[in-house]
Amino acid sequence: MDVLFAGLGSMGMGMALSCLKAGHGVQGSDPDPARLDTLIRQGGQPVAAGGPAADALVCVVLNADQTRAALFGPQGLAGRLAPGGVIVACATVAPDFAREMEAEATARGLLYLDAPISGGAAKAAAGALSIMASGQPAAFAAAAPLLQAMAETVHHLGDQAGPGSAMKAVNQLLAGLHIMAMGEALALATAQGLDLARVQQVIGVSAGNSWMFQNRAPHVIAGDYAPRSAIDIWPKDLGIVAAMAQDAGLPLLLVETALAEYRAASAAGLGRLDDAVITRHIAARAGLALPDGGQD
Amino acid sequence: MDVLFAGLGSMGMGMALSCLKAGHGVQGSDPDPARLDTLIRQGGQPVAAGGPAADALVCVVLNADQTRAALFGPQGLAGRLAPGGVIVACATVAPDFAREMEAEATARGLLYLDAPISGGAAKAAAGALSIMASGQPAAFAAAAPLLQAMAETVHHLGDQAGPGSAMKAVNQLLAGLHIMAMGEALALATAQGLDLARVQQVIGVSAGNSWMFQNRAPHVIAGDYAPRSAIDIWPKDLGIVAAMAQDAGLPLLLVETALAEYRAASAAGLGRLDDAVITRHIAARAGLALPDGGQD
């Protein structure tokens, strides 16, 4: 297949290279010329004006505004697709926005897959992502060779746009709360003089365990806040969750509290650091010292 | 060993029967005569006034006040121990309280193991609990045959009382927050029209997963709130966590929010139901209908 990639960040680049490895032709687009150079060195091409129409467009940008611009804006790439081509939209967005984009695609004779991704940069590079997908059967069929190249697991969540993004929002609600719960737990453990590596070990075999605890606690224990996933993801993603809840008349008190805390951490200058640094944000209020990796 | 059990509830009974199975002599005490009858039918005895001094006292009551009364109150059983006998204290209490009880035991020539338990009634019955324990090496040594009978895993967390209870508090912080995070997640999923069984399946292989999500979501999906672990545990246990945090000058915003929510759920009459019913408490605010098992 000939596939266009809008967005060659840590996720998009891995997905584009996975498609190249699988034998697809890849044309990429990114505001950063260095990212595009990397793709070209690996066998990809820049999106060419006036080239032949492509079969698919994978959009791996940050948010709804960027998605709309990358698809249908003045520089948008939807116009570069052949009739019946498929858009695979991977940003975390509200389900209503996904439905709006699907309607816009349909009006232009294109297919649309609501396909938020999960798994991080390493799994993107390995072609082993999880994709929480919904869309018309024709959209799934058209995207199948790409999904196979990029994902280990594709969750089929419904036959129109919306449920894919809704499922991603539910996952982000849990993930964002679990990271902050870890921060509060490790701050309390520090106040109590417990050894944090021992705490991680005990929690790992106890009812308090979570995927995020085991994934992020090592960052705190090492004092290493080089960003694998940054604090600034959470004001965005929990903001989407909070807006969805508000639309449903559903007060979610933990989400609202965590959203305020992540915004406060970002405002305190921690936004670009790894999200495990929320632990330091919490512990600092009591003057508690956490392990210091010396990087920041 | 001759061991006294103070408290024959769902946890204490299982632990007492595990000790009987391992060949220890067990004398039990419980305010409910039916519980004591059960123990006697399985080969145990009631705690006899004026009987020979025992080797150990396992205290499996609800909270600090009950622990103090069961050990050192007018009806307390510490006086029934031989010199050098060991107290195994299993309630979830504050670390400072555990240290106070250890000092009291030491003053009476007794050993003390700060030994909160985790795992639930089924694991108690199977002799397969996790115990988060701290105490003097002599206390561990004296209690070893009982720990072997009751537990699959004994975490050695320090050589005096305190760290055992601190570790349990950290676990309860996480567990209590994760249950409520599940409640918010399933309420949002319901508002979005997602199938909850499918949500559980997807979360199980995603970054939003937690031990509690996988354990409690089936109760919500079945609409079955028969209590395995009741809402009323959480005002108590998160109350301990909040008090510890306050003593350390450490504001924990998620804990404070969750504590208020659990108290509200209890005040709304849900206190005796399974703690997964927090989902219904949250969803009810938006008039969302969850699966109804028909039991309540």
Three-state SS annotation for B138-171: HHHHHHHHHHHHHEEEEEECCCCCCHHHHHHHHH
Q: What is the pLDDT of residues A188-246, one digit of tens each?
A: 999 999 999 999 999 999 999 999 999 999 999 999 999 999 999 999 999 999 999 99
The pLDDT of residue A296 is 46
Please give the Cα distance from B77 to B220 (Å, whole number).
Answer: 41
- Contact of A122 with chain B, judged by CB distance below 8 Å, is answered with no
The pLDDT of residue A293 is 80
- Provide the CA B290 distance to its chain's centre, in angstroms: 28
The pLDDT of residue A294 is 61
In the numeric block, the tokens 């709304």 are attached to B268
Fold designation for B2-161: Rossmann fold (3.40.50)
Per-residue b/e over A175-185, b at no fewer than 16 CB within 10 Å? bbbbbbbbbbb
Please give the Cα distance from B243 to B248 (Å, whole number).
Answer: 9
In the numeric block, the tokens 């260095």 are attached to A34
In this structure, which amino acid lies at residue B51? G
Please give the Cα distance from B268 to B281 (Å, whole number).
Answer: 9
Q: What is the pLDDT of residues B237-250, one digit of tens each?
A: 999 999 999 999 99
Kindly identify which residue of chain A lies nearest to residue B210, measuring between CA atoms.
A210
Q: What is the rounded average pLDDT of the residues B183-198?
A: 98
pTM (whole model) above 0.90: yes
Among B96-100, B226-230, B255-259, B291-295, the range scoring the smallest mean pLDDT is: B291-295
Is residue B21 annotated as a catalytic residue, yes or no? no
- Contact of B121 with chain A, judged by CB distance below 8 Å, is answered with no
May I ask the CATH class of domain A165-284?
mainly alpha
CATH architecture of the domain A2-160 equals 3-Layer(aba) Sandwich (3.40)
Provide the sign of the torsion angle of the four alpha carbons A264, A265, A267, A272, taken in this order.
Answer: negative
Q: Do B155 and A194 touch (CB under 8 A)?
A: no
Residue numbers of A annotated as active site = 168
Q: What is the rounded average pLDDT of the residues B111-131?
A: 95
Q: What is the pLDDT of residues B7-17, one digit of tens each?
A: 999 999 999 99
Residue among A119, A177, A250 minimizing CB distance to B187 = A250
Q: What is the rounded average pLDDT of the residues B64-93?
A: 97
The distance of B255 to chain A (nearest Cα, Å) reads: 8
In this structure, which amino acid lies at residue B86? V
Q: Do B261 and A253 touch (CB under 8 A)?
A: yes
Residue A295: pLDDT band (50, 70, 90) is very low
- Contact of B220 with chain A, judged by CB distance below 8 Å, is answered with no
Within a 10 A sphere around the Cβ of B65, how many other Cβ atoms? 13
A71, pLDDT greater than 60: yes
Please give the Cα distance from A235 to A237 (Å, whole number).
Answer: 6
- Provide the CA B269 distance to its chain's centre, in angstroms: 22
Helix (H) or strand (E) holding B161: none
Helix (H) or strand (E) holding B186: helix B163-191
B149, pLDDT greater than 50: yes
What number of residues does chain B have?
Answer: 296
B57, pLDDT greater than 90: yes
- Mutation target for B interface from A156, A194, A215, A280: give the one with most B CBs within 10 A: A194
Provide the sign of the torsion angle of the four alpha carbons A227, A228, A234, A237, taken in this order.
Answer: positive
B127, pLDDT greater than 90: yes
Percent of chain A's residues with pLDDT above 90: 95
Chain A residues within an 8 Å CB radius of B215: 207
A116, pLDDT greater than 60: yes
When the pLDDT of each residue in chain B is averaged and rounded to a whole number, the result is: 96
A66, pLDDT greater than 60: yes
Q: Do A210 and B215 touch (CB under 8 A)?
A: no
B135: closest CA among B69, B67, B96, B88?
B88
Angle formed at CA A209 by CA A169 and CA A10, multiple of 5 degrees: 45
B165-284 has the same fold as B2-161: no
Token pair of B66, please?
Answer: 């009950």
In this structure, which amino acid lies at residue B253? L
Please give the Cα distance from A186 to A183 (Å, whole number).
Answer: 5
When the pLDDT of each residue in chain A is averaged and rounded to a whole number, the result is: 96
Please give the Cα distance from A157 to B192 (Å, whole number).
Answer: 12
In the numeric block, the tokens 């695979």 are attached to A88
Domain positions in chain A:
2-160, 165-284
Please give the Cα distance from B64 to B104 (Å, whole number).
Answer: 14
Chain B residues within an 8 Å CB radius of A181: 173-174, 177-178, 181, 254
Please give the Cα distance from B89 to A186 (Å, whole number).
Answer: 25
Provide the sign of the torsion angle of the four alpha carbons A183, B215, A248, A99, taken in this order.
Answer: positive
- Contact of A130 with chain B, judged by CB distance below 8 Å, is answered with yes
